[in-house]
């Protein structure tokens, strides 16, 4: 995570424990939707497993997120998901930089994303059309120096 210019890098807030909400007796339905720590979890409705990565995050610099999405039931790539993301810091929204997503067999890139304020952002990723039964979402904390 070398930013190249000597500045500090931000990224996902480290997880203190693995996400196990989908392994609960109610299948995750009793889970209070909250942002995850780390960069890997199941979505809020226990349909998909996601692994995220992002290079060095610096304030006001564009970055691209990589999203690896699999179906929980079959562990096959979740293709055609057309992911997009929102983010907020408090009530302040992420600036609109018109990020685009591309896919390669269930591996997606979303960018450019620009965090224009320092602090802890809540990122919210959406997959599939919001009115589709396949729709899912997941959120993670990201720190920006």
Q: Give me the chain's average pLDDT, please.
A: 89
pTM of the model: 0.88
Instruction: For 23-66, write each residue's pLDDT tens digit.
Output: 766 655 555 568 889 999 998 888 999 999 999 999 999 999 99
User: Angle at Cα 127 formed by Cα 126 and Cα 133, nearest 5°?
Assistant: 110
Give the residue, 85 or 17, on which the prediction is more confident: 85
Domain ranges of the chain: 35-144
Class of residue 14 by CB neighbours under 10 A (exposed 0-12, middle 13-18, buried 19+): exposed
Instruction: For 73-91, write each residue's pLDDT tens digit.
Output: 999 999 999 999 999 999 9
Tokens of 13: 């807030």
**What is the per-residue DSSP string for 51-119?**
EEE---B-TT-EEEEEEEEEETTT--B-TT---EEEEEETTEEPP----EEEEETTEEEEEEEE--S-E
Q: Which CATH architecture has domain 35-144?
A: Sandwich (2.60)
């Amino acid at each position: 995570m070398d930013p190249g210019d000597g500045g500090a890098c931000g990224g996902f807030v480290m997880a203190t424990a693995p996400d196990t909400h989908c392994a609960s007796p109610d299948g995750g339905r009793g889970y209070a939707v909250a942002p995850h720590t780390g960069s890997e979890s199941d979505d809020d409705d226990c349909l998909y497993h996601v692994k995220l990565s992002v290079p060095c995050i610096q304030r006001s610099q564009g970055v691209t997120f990589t999203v690896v999405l699999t179906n929980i039931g079959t562990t096959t790539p979740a293709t055609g998901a057309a992911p997009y993301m929102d983010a907020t810091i408090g009530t302040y929204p992420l600036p609109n930089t018109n990020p685009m997503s591309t896919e390669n067999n269930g591996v997606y890139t979303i960018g450019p994303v620009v965090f224009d304020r320092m602090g802890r952002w809540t990122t919210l990723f959406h997959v599939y059309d919001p009115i589709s039964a396949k729709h899912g979402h997941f959120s993670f904390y990201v720190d920006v120096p």
